[in-house]
Amino acid sequence: MKLQQLICILSFLLIGACKNANPPKQDAFNIELYPKKKEYHIGETLQIKVVNPKFEGKIVKISYQFHHQELVVTNENIVLKNLMLGKQPLEVTVYTDKGEVYKVRKEILLLAGQAPKLYTYKILNEYPHDKQAYTQGLEFIGDTLVESTGQYRESSIRKWNPFTGEMYKNVPLQAMYFGEGATVFRDKIIQLTWRENIGFVYDTQLKLLKIFSYNKSKEGWGLCHNGSGKLYKSDGSEKIWILNPNTFEEVDSLQLCTNKSIFTNANELEFVDGKIYANTYLKDGIMIINPNNGAIEGVVDVRGLKEKVEQTPDLDVLNGIAYHARRSTFFITGKNWSKIFEVVFIEANNK
């Protein structure tokens, strides 16, 4: 036998021996959940067992995490509360008396515990709106609306007064950019683009200050903030991303869920009284979302508004929701709508 062949054989045997001596830690245990179901709901109690029939050592500690959050397990039981909804990883770490550490992971679908409440609307006032504006983002500074518009070669960021109709400033974007959601945050105006993977930061006079890149989300749709440092960004998927307030990097995410399923297509966003209000793309509805876990706690049926505007060839879907804090009202419009509506939302059974 040639020396080179002998070396190859010995190397193969050595590698195989090493693999047999050190099996992958993640394969050592399995997670078993009871009751066995395809989906679980907030508020349920879940029994969890970590099993390995061939394990002969002693387990000294087991830790449990759900979406990076430490879980309290009592007698193998977990109460599913105060957790992020959606398809989330349940991660278990097993520590043995020999100093070994085993990790095992299982994905769980966790949904809301209750169905969303249903709301309708009442129109208080109607105001003219630029029917050439393909509205993507809408937010108030006092009585001034900051509006981001879309479409290639037509996108802009603008400031105007809906009560007087006065246009204070209108800054077009370069032809290569498709404008999307916008929000007013820490005396800056932040505007997203659709598929260009960048956002713009302006001062309140719409002077461009800097550009930032997306990292994890592939598209930009809607944008809002909670008033105390958290920014939320939609991208058309089931996720609403939570952004670093300084770098705008995606650091975490919510998944939009009812008690029955995961939902997508949250578009333009507005944060009001502790909830995220999200236009639903291609539907005449607004989702009311719990920012702590992603639960869709309410749905506003705004059908009928689109029929009240000029029926032009360019008329498109509902999009654009801004809250006027002093008036405690919402201003709603759509893509190429000739009107903007001042409304309040009313729970359907209280209409």
99-124: pLDDT as tens digits: 889 999 999 999 999 999 999 999 99
With a cut of 70, say whether residue 26 has pLDDT above it.
no
At a CB cut-off of 8 Å and minimum separation 6, what does 190 contact?
182, 183, 184, 199, 200, 201, 202, 223, 231, 248
State how far the Cα of 331 lies from the Cα of 318, in Å rounded to an integer: 12
Position 191 pLDDT exceeds 70: yes
Banded model confidence at residue 21, pLDDT cuts 50, 70, 90: very low
Please give the Cα distance from 52 to 58 (Å, whole number).
12
CA distance 233 to 231: 7
pLDDT digits (tens, 9 = 90+) for 29-75: 888 999 999 999 999 999 999 888 777 788 889 999 999 889 888 88
> CB count, 10 Å around CB of 306?
16
Diameter over CA atoms, the chain: 94
Closest CA to 277 of 298, 251, 305: 298
Yes or no: say if 273 and 252 are a contact pair by the CB < 8 Å rule. Answer: no
pTM summary value: 0.89
Query: Residue 29: is it exposed, middle or buried by C-beta count within 10 angstroms (0-12/13-18/19+)?
Result: buried
Residues 215-241 pLDDT 10s: 899 899 999 999 988 999 999 999 999
Q: Are 186 and 248 in contact (CB under 8 A)?
A: no
Residue owning tokens 């394969």 = 27
Counts for the chain of helices (H) and strands (E), in that order: 1, 28
Confidence band, pLDDT 50/70/90 cuts, at residue 15: very low
Tell which residue, 110, 67, 114, has the closest CA to residue 85.
Answer: 110
Q: Across residues 274-286, what is the average pLDDT? A: 95
Phi/psi at 14 (5° precision) = -65, -45
Nearest to 242 by CA among 269, 265, 263: 269
**Tokens (6 digits) for 258:** 């009812």
71, 64 Cβ separation under 8 angstroms: yes
The helix (H) or strand (E) run that includes residue 67 is none
pLDDT at 188: 96
CA atoms within 13 A on the CB side of 235: 23
In this structure, what token pair is assigned to residue 330? Answer: 């919402």
20: three-class secondary structure by DSSP: helix
Q: What phi and psi, each to the nearest 5 degrees, are found at residue 42?
A: -55, 135
